[in-house]
């Protein structure tokens, strides 16, 4: 079979002939792969920079963790792979599949789940979002951030504030449900003044952070209390596109009712992952089929993987390999 194989951390994947994966036990099944989204997670694993990365095997390793595939009876499902998914064939776990509705195309069904994981899991399980909450999304102009805006509103957020670099992308978020936009390109004092003014008028309940680094430090400074009673703020770190480290004042933790947590692989319980597969993803597939959850993709072919691995896709879109 043809597959995208990586031989060393940081190397480009190669489109080559590779042995078909073998089913190892009764919980696995061999499938025909249709579409796989290329995510920051996949690139981080391939580069060895993600905390879940493993060294490639001597004979190479197929990349790609999930995608849309066909079962032996022709049923189309989204699945998490046991073997790498960027190949014509893959093995999956039987219990980790979600049926794809007839009205949903392969590219959208392949791209949506990771964005949902990076948005809904944090909002639902880490932030415990409630109807009427005010939500700030730091770094919302990317693919997952755009999904987070829409899901936050779907879950009942009264107000969604978003930050980002690209002004056009920020303006686009207003069409997806955002209520206020904040540019991270302005000077620090203007950035903090804008967030402080919003927080004083409509206290922020939830912060979903895809950037971390200096913007996180500024946001935390804006919500630091003065000894008065405060609302509970649930701060959820999901990404670190701006950098992995921050300086955190102890006064931030003592002066405000602050819950600081993260959302990602390893932080979710088995029950929560089960709920993602059985309830959340089917619900989001339904919304996408109805046009109530909107995403954009850039579609490429598997044989072009090496040339397109570092393709700079338009802002807010996801690269999807069609197999």
Please, what are the averages of pLDDT over each run of 10 residues along the chain (323 residues)? 86 91 94 94 67 58 94 96 95 94 97 97 98 98 97 98 95 97 97 97 98 97 91 96 94 94 95 96 98 96 90 88 95
Q: Around 271, how many Cα atoms within 13 Å sit in the side-chain half-sphere?
A: 1
How is the chain split into domains, by residue range?
2-113+295-322, 119-262
Residue 250 CA to residue 47 CA, distance in Å, equals 34
Q: What is the pLDDT of residues 103-125, one digit of tens each?
A: 999 999 999 999 999 999 999 99
The domain 119-262 is classified under which CATH number: 3.40.50.720, 3.20.20.80, 2.40.70.10, 3.30.465.10?
A: 3.40.50.720
pTM greater than 0.95 (yes/no) = no
The CATH-assigned architecture of domain 2-113+295-322 is Alpha-Beta Complex (3.90)
Longest dimension (CA), the chain: 65
pLDDT of residue 314: 80
**Paired strand residues for 2:** 17
Q: What is the DSSP letter of 69?
A: E
The per-residue pLDDT for 47 is 66
Residue with tokens 């500024």: 218
**Per-residue pLDDT tens over the stretch 283-311:** 999 999 999 999 999 999 999 998 888 88
Measured CA to CA, the distance from residue 317 to residue 315 in angstroms comes to 6
Residue with tokens 């990365």: 53
Domains 2-113+295-322 and 119-262 share a fold: no
Residue 133 in contact with residue 158, Cβ under 8 Å? yes
């Amino acid at each position: 079979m043809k597959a995208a194989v990586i031989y060393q951390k940081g190397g480009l994947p190669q489109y080559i002939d590779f042995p078909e994966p073998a089913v190892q036990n009764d919980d696995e099944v061999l499938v025909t792969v249709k579409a796989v989204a290329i995510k920051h997670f996949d690139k981080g694993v391939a580069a060895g920079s993600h905390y879940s990365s493993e060294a490639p095997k001597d004979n190479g390793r197929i990349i790609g963790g999930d995608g849309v595939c066909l079962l032996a009876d022709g049923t189309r499902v989204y699945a998490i792979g046991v073997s790498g998914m960027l190949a014509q064939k893959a093995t999956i776990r039987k219990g980790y599949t979600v049926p794809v509705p007839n009205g949903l195309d392969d590219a959208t069904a392949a791209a949506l789940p990771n964005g949902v994981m990076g948005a809904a899991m944090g909002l639902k399980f880490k932030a415990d979002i409630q109807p009427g909450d005010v939500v700030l999304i730091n770094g919302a102009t990317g693919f997952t951030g755009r999904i987070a805006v829409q899901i936050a509103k779907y879950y009942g957020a009264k107000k969604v504030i978003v930050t980002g670099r690209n002004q056009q992308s920020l303006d686009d978020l207003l069409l997806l449900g955002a209520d206020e936009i904040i540019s991270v390109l302005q000077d620090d004092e203007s950035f903090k003044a804008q967030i402080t003014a919003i927080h004083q008028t409509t206290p922020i309940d939830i912060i979903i952070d895809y950037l971390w680094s200096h913007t996180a430090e500024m946001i935390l400074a804006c919500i630091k209390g003065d000894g008065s009673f405060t609302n509970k703020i649930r701060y959820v770190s999901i990404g670190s596109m701006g950098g992995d480290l921050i300086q955190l004042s102890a006064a931030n933790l003592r002066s405000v009712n602050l819950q600081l947590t993260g959302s990602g692989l390893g932080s979710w319980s088995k029950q929560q992952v089960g709920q993602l597969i059985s309830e959340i993803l089917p619900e989001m597939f339904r919304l996408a089929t109805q046009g109530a959850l909107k995403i954009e993709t850039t579609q490429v072919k598997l044989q072009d993987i090496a040339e397109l691995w570092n393709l700079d896709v338009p802002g807010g879109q996801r690269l999807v390999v069609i197999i």
